Amino acid sequence: MQTKHIHNKDVHKEANQSGDGAKRPPNTNGYSLSTEQLHQLLSGDQLNTCQNSFDDAVHKQQQLLTICNLLDRQNSIHDEIEDLLNAENGAYWLDKQISEFKLLCPAEILTQLSHSANAKTPPIHNGDIINLHFLSLISEHLFSPLTTLSRIKTDELSEFERDDWYQWCINFNDQLQTIKSQIKSAQLFFKLKTFDKIKNLAKDDYTKQQIGHTKKLFQLSTTAKQDVEYND
C-alpha cells in the first residue's frame, strides 16, 4: 500500500484557513456589537437615553392623570360655580351692586377706592374690589376653560398643550379659592357701615351728602330685597 504523505506546510496552510485563524469582519471585537456601539454602552449614553425616555413617559402619565382627575370632578365643580353665581349676595348680585355704586358714588371717592390697594394705609379695606367684574372672572378662569377641556381628547394633546392644561389643572383649586375670597371681601364691602367709613374720605359737605344719599339707596335696596324674600 502506498501511503500519502502530508507535508507540514500543508497542515499549517489548512490551519490558517479555518478555526481561530479565520479572518474576522473588520471593526469588530469578537462580539455581535461593533466597537462604536460597545463604546457607547460603556460611556453610558444609551443608558441615559433610556432613563430620559422612561422619565418622560412617567411625567406624561402624571400630567394626564391630573387632567383626568379634574375632569372627573367637573360635575361637582359646575355645582360650585353655580353656587358662586346664584347664592345670596353671589356674583350676579355683586356685579349689580358694583355697577350701581360706581354710578352713584362721587368720582373723587371712586378714585381713592380704586387705588386703595396701592396705598400704604388703605382707607377702606379692599375698596379696590369695585374694579372687579365677577361674572367675567368666573367665566375666564373657571367655566370657559373647563368647558373647553371637557371637549378635548386628552390622548391627542401635543406636549405643549398637555403642559398648558396640566398647569391650569394644578392651579385650579387656588384660582377657585381666590375668587371665593374676593367675593367674600366684596360682600363685606357692601355692608352699610362701610358707607360711614367712605364718608370720611369726602373733603367737602356736598360729597358727604352724596355718599349719604348713596347709602340710603343701598339701604332701601337691601330692605326691599329682604321684604321680597320674606314674602316669598
Q: What is the DSSP letter of 34?
A: B
Q: What is the pLDDT of residues 107-164, one digit of tens each?
A: 888 888 877 655 554 567 678 888 899 999 999 999 999 999 999 998 898 999 999 9
Rounded Cα distance between 41 and 210, Å, is: 83
Paired with 34 in beta bridges are 28
- 37 within some domain: no
Higher pLDDT among residues 117 and 15, named by residue? 117
- 51 within some domain: no
- 9 within some domain: no
Going by pLDDT thresholds of 50, 70 and 90, the confidence category of residue 184 is very high
- 213 within some domain: yes
Cell reading at 22: 479565520
- 100 within some domain: yes
Q: What is the pLDDT of residues 34-47, one digit of tens each?
A: 666 555 555 555 55
The SS3 assignment for 59 reads helix
Q: What is the pLDDT of residues 24-37, one digit of tens each?
A: 444 444 445 566 65
Could you list the residue range(s) of the whole structural domain that residue 153 is in?
74-220
Going by pLDDT thresholds of 50, 70 and 90, the confidence category of residue 218 is confident
Rounded Cα distance between 78 and 154, Å, is: 20
**Angle at CA of residue 213, ends 210 and 218, nearest 5°:** 125
* pLDDT beyond 90 at 20: no
Q: What is the pLDDT of residues 66-113, one digit of tens each?
A: 999 999 999 999 999 999 999 999 999 999 999 999 998 888 888 888
Number of domains in the chain: 1
- 38 within some domain: no
